[in-house]
Structure 1
Amino acid sequence: MAFKIKAPDQRRMDAAFGKLTAQRSTLEESLRVFNEVVAAARAKLQLDVDAYNERVDAARGMVDDVHRELEDEFDDRSANWQNGDKGIATKEWIDSISELADELTEATLDVFPESLELEDVIGDDPVEGFNELDKEAPGAE
């Protein structure tokens, strides 16, 4: 007796993989629509990210200006005052303002996917493996 896939089993497998191929096509169309919507949403989001980053730059510039002005005022004081308790505390406070500018971070979309491909969602097409499957065992006679 030869080891091979019998005709009724072959028809069942063909039918199952046919349905899988049809559903794969439906899934692929859904991904196409998804990617269009994502592209539109990303374009809007990018505009908002860019606007936010402009505000971050402006805020950082303003904080740097205030910091510089306070540094200048501090530098105008005597060395005795600067090295005294009030001067040291004031210098620490001025430095904390500079640190505030460093904490202002820009938004980024580096982790935002450009799109999804079918293979990202379900991997390679299993029908290809099925189609390449030998229907008889090696050496079956």
Structure 2
Amino acid sequence: MQTTTLTAPVSNAQLWTGRVLSGLFILFMLFDSSIKLVPLAVVTETSAQIGLPATAAFARTLGILGLVSLILYAYPRTAVLGAILLTAYMGGAVATHFRIGSPLFTHTLFGVYLGVILWGGLWFRDPRVRALIPFSN
């Protein structure tokens, strides 16, 4: 019985492009989660400004959710699950900024930009994701 593969091998350039994009995203999210775990005063002040609870417990909860999702994203076997969870996390940020009327391109769409980097990194480094999201035949 002959088996066929639905995925093409990853070239060296694709692999490194994916690693760089994913690495940039991971570094950003490590920073973001870290300042929420502490939490820094800027985190609770900003939470209050955008209509979220301005408590350390709330900030830490967001930090833990972001960090757990990020760990899942960074581990290759669970990267897709992590990407899905992080997409939901970014979607919440977009919805929050849209609700309060934040500037569109700098604040509201920032989560979308991060989502493109997140999925772009995964698309370049994982042939299974490229098979699910083909840009050409």
TM-score past 0.5 threshold: no
- Calculate the TM-score normalised by the size of structure 1: 0.33
- Calculate the TM-score normalised by the size of structure 2: 0.33
Structure with max Cα Rg: 1
